[in-house]
Amino acid sequence: MCKVKKEYSGLPLIECYPGKLNQVFLNIISNAIYAIRKKFEEQEGGLLSITTSFDETNLLIKIADNGIGMDENTKKKLFEPFFTTKGVGEGTGLGLSIAYNTIVKHNGRIEVNSELGKGTEFILILPLIQK
């Protein structure tokens, strides 16, 4: 169980592959929920927040959790295909590698900030228009 805080600031329409981006959001949100559950288990206090903003050129989507966070080794490898810290049957290590490739195909980028024990935030930056 966790709280979800949504702040969507008047989302603009963008040129994209919606199904592919949906998969990116799902992968990142699933990881966030996993990290929260790992830390809080059945206790309260877990928070997933999703914030959007935009300017003339880009859309920004921030997905943040206050879960277990990542160590330095994980931060270095998280986008590698098949890299996972999860047990057999729990993770494939493909979620973020797919997310990364999809965002690059959209000419965007992903930034990650994470602190072990504190939480993680993913910031997706997507151009509104594809050239």
120 binds, among Mg ion, ligand ADP, none (CB under 5 to 8 A by kind): ligand ADP
Q: Can residue 46 be called a binding residue for ligand ADP (CB under 6 A)?
A: no
Token readout for 4 is 């979800």
Q: Can residue 64 be called a binding residue for ligand ADP (CB under 6 A)?
A: no
| Cβ pair 68, 114 in contact under 8 A | no
| Cβ pair 75, 112 in contact under 8 A | yes
Q: Can residue 31 be called a binding residue for Mg ion (CB under 5 A)?
A: yes
Non-local (6+) Cβ contacts of 98 within 8 A are 23, 24, 27
Find the binder of ligand ADP among 21, 24, 31, 124 (CB under 6 A): 31
Q: Can residue 91 be called a binding residue for ligand ADP (CB under 6 A)?
A: yes
46 binds, among Mg ion, ligand ADP, none (CB under 5 to 8 A by kind): none
Q: Can residue 120 be called a binding residue for Mg ion (CB under 5 A)?
A: no
Angstrom distance (rounded) from CA 131 to CA 127: 9
Hey, which residues does 110 pair with through a beta bridge?
Answer: 124
- Distance from first CA to last CA of the chain, Å, rounded? 42
Three-state DSSP state, 103: helix
Q: Which stretch binds ligand ADP (CB under 6 A): 12-20, 39-47, 50-58, 95-103?
A: 95-103
Q: Which stretch binds Mg ion (CB under 5 A): 15-23, 28-36, 69-77, 105-113?
A: 28-36
Interacting residues with ligand ADP (CB under 6 A): 27, 31-32, 35, 65, 67-70, 74, 78, 83-86, 91-97, 120
